Amino acid sequence: MELGLFQKQKNNIIMTAKLRQSINLLQYSTIELAQYLREKAEENPLIQLEEQSLKSKAGNLHASNINTGTTSNEEINPLDFVAAQKPDLRKDLLEQVQFLHTNEQNKFILNYLVMNLTDKGLLPLSNTEIAELLSIDECTVAECVDLLHHLEPAGIGARYIKESLLLQAKYYYPDESILHTIIQDYLELLADKKWQQIAQEMHISLSNLKYFFQLIQTLHPYPCNLMDHESTVDYSYPDIIITQKEYGTYNVSVNDKIMPNIEINNQYIHLKNENSQTSKYINNCYNQYLWLINSIEQRRSTLLKTAEVLIAKQQGFLENGLSALNAMTMKEMADDINVHESTISRIAKNKIIRTPAGTFKLSKLFSSKLEKKDGGFASAPKVKMILKQFIHQEDKNKPFSDQKISDYLKEEKNISISRRTIAKYREELNILPASKRKVVV
């Protein structure tokens, strides 16, 4: 083997910083892209953003979403957009404590317990832990926990789900001692639908067991939710909008109304042609500005082309929803618009599309193909819809196993699908297995 220095030419694909940024920009949602532009505007003095005015935004909201009988040309009252005060369940519990007929020490302990409840209303601390933390005896703690259990809503302060259900059952159905026993001793068997075993051990009929099961279904596993529901609502802002003009014809648009307009800051642009260190910096900023404009346009163009192919190939879906969605892979979409499959994967990520059939994640409209006996293909969402409908209509006394469902799809729908795939789809639809779908006669 000869040692030395040698020159060799070869072709390599180099991932530059700008190429990496362009790829990342493709997968941004419109909201994420708007935030990214604001960050770039802070870094680059040549990038100037023109935000839509608050009055314009409020006017659009007033005209499109709020039915008050007034026009959008009227003055917007800012107070109309102030959130109303929401009920605070934890605060309500603290107020209940103040009205209890007990001493101040117990009220102090109860306040401590309320403030330590989980967001689902459960008490995560044992009596021993509370006694050690507050330096009091366990008997006092047990007394206060019992007082906590008598507050509303029923079940508050339970340590676990079984105790929560039992507290609720005793509150709502105080005379149903058999119900209390079922929850206390047979809840696990009930979850596994072991109807015969429970009925035999408790010496009751299946019809009576069905009655108690129905009562349990009126209870909630958790006593309450102390969190503010509205603060955790996921508002979906569509990135693409498809609207129907007339039967069979559609309009497609990229929903960039919240995007600020990008302009160049003329205050510094004259420095670009000077022979100085500042000129080099300004030229770099200018090139970044041009790259940003081109990347946004590329993202917009790819979104439009993707939506246009969906319109051309998914007429049934646009008219009838997911049950009529044709099987289509990202590779097929990439071939149709002449880009790489990874580009479609990124453009579909984090995007929401609003169609006449509803609002969906864009990625949900791409699916694997399931082969049919006639040589065609069925989409995964379509099979899931068939599966859901089939299970909904089955005899609940004799629910079908995954294998029987697989056989049904093969014989009746000409769709070849394995038992494991059925189990996978069923879990994605939050449908229990056959053994746990069975009900009492």
Residue entry with tokens 């083997």: 1
Encoded tokens for 265? 């800051």
Residue 106 scores a pLDDT above 50 = yes
Distances (CA, A) of 200 to 144, 196, 440: 39, 6, 14
Q: Do both 322 and 390 map to the same domain?
A: no
Is residue 299, in this structure, part of any structural domain at all?
yes
What number is the average pLDDT over the span 332-341?
Answer: 90
With respect to residue 37, please indicate whether it lies within any of the assigned structural domains.
no
C-alpha to C-alpha distance for 92 and 226, rounded to whole angstroms: 10
The torsion angles phi and psi of 107, rounded to 5 degrees, stand at -65, -40
Considering the domain architecture, whether residues 374 and 282 belong to the same structural domain is answered as: no
Q: What's the Rg (C-alpha) of the chain? A: 31
Q: Please count the CA atoms within 13 angstroms of the CA of 321 that sit on its side-chain side.
A: 7
Query: Cis before residue 153, ω within 30 degrees of 0?
Result: yes
For residue 39, being part of any structural domain is answered with no
Give me the percent of the chain exceeding a pLDDT of 90: 9
pLDDT at 315 over 90: no
233: exposed, middle or buried (C-beta count within 10 Å: 0-12, 13-18, 19+)?
exposed
Q: Is residue 81 part of a domain?
A: no
Take residue 197 and report the two structure tokens written for it. Answer: 């075993």
Domain boundary among 302, 331, 365: 365
Q: Are residues 331 and 376 in the same domain?
A: no
Query: What type of residue sits at position 42?
Result: E
- Report whether 329 contacts 368 (CB < 8 A): yes
Asked if 249 and 330 sit in the same domain, the reply is yes
Mean pLDDT of the chain: 81
Question: What letters, b where the CB count within 10 A reaches 16 and e where it falls short, cover 170-201?
Answer: beebeebebbbebbeebeeebeebbbeebbee
Question: Based on the domain organization, do 352 and 402 belong to the same domain?
Answer: no
- DSSP secondary structure string for all residues of 153-189: STTTT-SSHHHHHHHHHHHH-TT-HHHHHHHHHSHHH
User: pLDDT digit string (tens) for 221-235?
Assistant: 887 765 444 444 455
Same domain flag for 188 and 281: no
Q: What is the pLDDT of residues 379-398, one digit of tens each?
A: 778 888 888 888 888 887 78
Is 46 a member of any domain?
no
> Which range marks the domain in which residue 157 is found?
89-217
Give tens-digit pLDDT for 58-86. 434 333 332 333 333 444 455 554 555 55
Q: How much is the average pLDDT of 400-417?
A: 85
Asked if the model's pLDDT at residue 52 lies above 90, the reply is: no
pLDDT in tens, 240-267: 999 988 777 899 999 888 888 888 888 8
Alpha carbon dihedral 291, 292, 294, 296, in 10-degree steps, equals: 160
Higher per-residue confidence, 293 vs 230: 293
Q: Does residue 32 belong to any structural domain of this protein?
A: no
Whether residue 354 is found in the same domain as residue 384:
no
Give yes or no for residue 431 having a pLDDT over 60.
yes
Do 381 and 337 share a domain, yes or no? no
245 and 352 housed in the same domain: yes
> For the chain, what's the residue count?
441
3-state secondary structure of 94: helix
The number of distinct structural domains making up the chain is 3
Ranking 39-43, 145-149, 214-218, 268-272 by mean pLDDT, the lowest is 268-272
Q: Whole-model pTM above 0.75?
A: no
Q: How much is the average pLDDT of 273-294?
A: 85
